[in-house]
Structures are given as C-alpha cells and as structure tokens.
A = this chain, B = another copy of it.
Amino acid sequence: MRERADAARNRLRVLAAAERLFGERGVSGVTMDDVAAAAGVGKGTLYRRFTDKGGLAVALLDERERELQQLMLAGPPPLGPGADPVPRLVAFVQAYLQFLERHLDLVLLSETAAPGARLRTGAHAFWRQHCRYLLDRAGAPDADLRADVLLAALSAEQVRHWREDEERDAEGLAGSLAAVVSALARSRPTGRAGA
C-alpha cells in the first residue's frame, strides 16, 4: 500500500485548490491556511504531503517540467537529441526562459521558500545533468561547474530581475544568453583575452 485512497483524494484537492487560489490572488497573496481551508483539509494534512510552501510549488510545477524534460530527452532537435551540443544548449536556454516566462511566480516560490532550495529540487538536478553532459561534449573544461554557472544565471530571481526590473525583452535576453552559452562552451582561449 503506497498511498491510502483518502490521502490521494486530499492530495488532489489540495493541488487543485492551490492552483486556483494562486491564479486568483497571486502566489504571495495566499497563505497556507487559505490553501488548507479551500481544500477542506487541516494544516497537518497539507504539511504531511508538501514539506513547505515551496514543496507545494514544486508539486504544481512537476507536470509542466516533465513536458519540457521529455522534449529534451526525446523531442526533435535542436532541443532534443541529434543536434550538436552548443545549439542544443542554446535551445535549452530558450526553452527554459519560456518556461520561466509562464511560471515565474511558482518557480520563484520553489526556489526561495527555503535557503538553498533552488539547488535541491529534482528538476534542478535534471537541468544540471543535461547542461553538464552537453558542455562536456562541447569540449568545455569544468563542465559541471560551468553548468552551475549557467543555471545560476537562469535562476528565477535573476531572470525576474532582467525581465521586470530592467525591462529587457525576452528575445534580446535569449540572444545574449545564447552568446554566453557559446562562450562557456568554448574549450580554451585562443590567445590573450582582453587588452
């Protein structure tokens, strides 16, 4: 027995209530009590399933993330297999930016609810693994560290800053980050950099 029938029912009710409330009032205008009340369950039930508010966000994002992950693993190039590493990375960056565009509030919540949360989600491990692999295949040194650098630039908070505080347009941002990807993927300097 993995999950009791009533537990499954409540889990779905919580998810549905959370999605509705977040949509209605925005992520920050909803308390955990609100979610519990709207779902018709107690707070204990809520916290039993979802570690904290961030965990709720992670659960809501889960399905959407899977779609993107599936495209990365088995979809058409350049996002999916078949393309060269750098174009695939660029495609990933663009796809991930679009993903953020649609779910920024939720991702922000999932990444900032607890300190260090961003680096601990399963989804993050997936993106990192993918970037590592492609950077390595592109011949970049320190592929794993550079994957982290790339993903740090794609953190919800950073992207929110670029898009909202600095009002950069989505395409310019994607283009600039594509150039960053190319720079990070290059295997070694061809000469002296700088002046």
The interface of chain A, by Cβ under 8 A from chain B, is: 84-87, 108, 112, 115-116, 118-119, 137-139, 141-142, 145-146, 148-149, 152-153, 155, 157-158, 160-162, 165, 168, 173, 176-177, 179-180, 182-186, 189-190, 193-195
Contacts and interface: CB of A to CB of B under 8 A. Distances in A.
As for how many copies of this chain the complex holds, the number is 2
Contacts of A177: 145
A142 B176 contact: yes
Contact of A185 (B139, B160, B194): B194
Given A85-B194, A86-B194, A149 B153 contact: yes
A179 B187 CA distance: 10
Contacts of A152: 149, 152-153, 155, 158
A189 B189 CA distance: 10
Contacts of A155: 152, 155
A194 B118 contact: no
Given A157-B118, A158-B148, A186-B186, A137 B195 contact: yes
